[in-house]
Amino acid sequence: MGSVVKSTNKEVNGSVAVKNPTVVFVLGGPGSGKGTQCANIVEHFGYTHLSAGDLLRAEIKSGSENGTMIQNMIKEGKIVPSEVTIKLLQRAMQENGNDKFLIDGFPRNEENRAAFEEVTKIEPAFVLFFDCPEEEMERRLLSRNQGREDDNIETIRKRFKVFLESSLPVIEHYTAREKVRKIDAGRPVEEVFESVKALFTPKDEKAD
């Protein structure tokens, strides 16, 4: 049933097989440009991009027992238990073999965060928070997804509200630990990436 881990990476007590992986949580509202910036980080800094949503969708598509359970929960409007999402993230990390991961769109709430640290024994190196004005995210989503039913103005605003209510406690938790790196994501893509690059470039490589 469990994932097969290569013998070189022994699994210990269900924790991630890669020794001390570097994990960066990536948070931001819908339309904040997270996906674009994650692709840039992968290309420039060799991270592996893991999206909690993509992993859940792939599991559903696989037709596994777990996938059917996830699909039924989503259909009923229930939130998929943290442990389910965390197991998928762990498996993806183990199978990938890289030691640097961007985890996108997770933790969605404080319960996710606590469970992730409890299960994996990993604390993120930092949290990359794309802070974008609501009007700008709205404008981007409406222009990007013309004709998509789920992107009408009411739905978009609902998604913003859910993001703020559930994710702000996570951001506050890590702010208290001085782990949040807030990026002004309302600017053009290239400018945003310049700010992102500064966070990922090792200090000794930065020009004085």
Annotated domain spans of the chain: 22-50+100-201
Q: What is the pLDDT of residue 100?
A: 96
Is 106 annotated among the ligand-binding residues? yes
Write down the CATH number for the domain with range 22-50+100-201. Answer: 3.40.50.300
Is 34 annotated among the ligand-binding residues? yes
Is 24 annotated among the ligand-binding residues? no
Q: Which of 19, 22, 25, 15 is nearest to 121 (CA)?
A: 15
Q: What is the pLDDT of residue 10?
A: 41
Is 40 annotated among the ligand-binding residues? no
Instruction: Enumerate residue ranges in the chain where pLDDT < 70.
Output: 1-19, 145-151, 204-208
Q: What is the pLDDT of residue 207?
A: 52
Is 14 annotated among the ligand-binding residues? no
Is 113 annotated among the ligand-binding residues? no
Is 108 annotated among the ligand-binding residues? yes
Is 203 annotated among the ligand-binding residues? no
Q: What is the pLDDT of residue 74?
A: 84
Is 159 annotated among the ligand-binding residues? yes
Q: What is the pLDDT of residue 76?
A: 86
* pTM of the predicted protein model: 0.83
Is 98 annotated among the ligand-binding residues? no
Q: What is the pLDDT of residue 75?
A: 86
Encode pLDDT of 170-202 as tens digits.
999 999 999 999 999 999 999 999 999 999 987
Is 80 annotated among the ligand-binding residues? yes
Is 32 annotated among the ligand-binding residues? yes
198-208 b/e with 16+ CB inside 10 Å = b? eebeeeeeeee
At a CB cut-off of 8 Å and minimum separation 6, what does 129 contact?
A: 27, 28, 171, 180, 181, 182, 183
Is 36 annotated among the ligand-binding residues? yes
Is 97 annotated among the ligand-binding residues? no
At a CB cut-off of 8 Å and minimum separation 6, what does 19 contact?
A: 99
Q: What is the pLDDT of residue 146?
A: 59
Rounded to 5 degrees, φ, ψ at 169 are: -60, -35
DSSP 128: E
